[in-house]
Structure 1
């Protein structure tokens, strides 16, 4: 199975612009951070082929990224767009957690602004799905 930690480590290689990367929770919500989460709307049974797991060739993992930028809305939007474009242009994604990556599909048409935190820091969300063998 593909882990959030492996996704976070891969994101560091394609988008090293963030000062901090987190899985599950942004500790202290420091500026210029990227949080990697399971997408909460993923529901239903796992997509297992007839014949069980041994006959299943491809699984998927839905990911939600929280871009916790700065108080500068323009700079945060640019950072979110830069990451989105990196994800959009991915081809030949390396193996993660011993899983061959088949495809990355974005689930939103652009980074989604989600407002500001209690300190006025702008935030965006990007959702995508990774299909892996």
Structure 2
């Protein structure tokens, strides 16, 4: 299983936001210049190989990254694109003891979702981690 905690640690290592500003789950008083890592709901059938689960070699973890940055639209946009480019240029990735076979960006670019009630601009990046199942 690929857990959000491991993904959070990986995103933190990209050095976009300081470590304590990369979080999973709900953070009631979000700090500026933070990134949230969330599970993303999906639909459709499970991917199970012929022969059953023991023959299934990979699984998918759909994730949404929320870039909650600053009251500067320009700074927030540049930060979101910086993260997007780092994700797009990955050549090899292992999170914990889980090998990631493929990182599928589900949007062509970071998506502008406006600002929160405090005027802090936000962008979202949807991606899928396709990873080797530990059997």
TM-score band w.r.t. shorter chain: over 0.9
Q: 1:62 Cα shift?
A: 0.8
Which range moves more in the overlay, 96-105 or 84-93?
A: 96-105
Counting matched residue pairs gives: 130
Runs (4 or more) in structure 1 with deviation over 6 Å come to none
Normalized against structure 1, the TM-score is what? 0.93
C-alpha distance after superposition, 1:59-78 (max 9, x if no partner)? 11111000000001100000
Distance in structure 2 (CA, Å) of the matches to 1:76 and 1:98:
33
CA distance in 1 between partners of 2:92 and 2:79 (Å): 23
- Tell me which residue corresponds to 2:44: 44
- For the aligned residues, what is the CA RMSD? 1.1
The Cα of 1:24 is off from its aligned counterpart by 1.5
- For residues 21-68 of structure 1, the C-alpha deviation after alignment (integer angstroms, 9 at most, x for no partner) is 11021331110010000112x123321112221100111111100000
Counterpart in the other structure of 1:103: 102
Shift of 1:100: 1.3
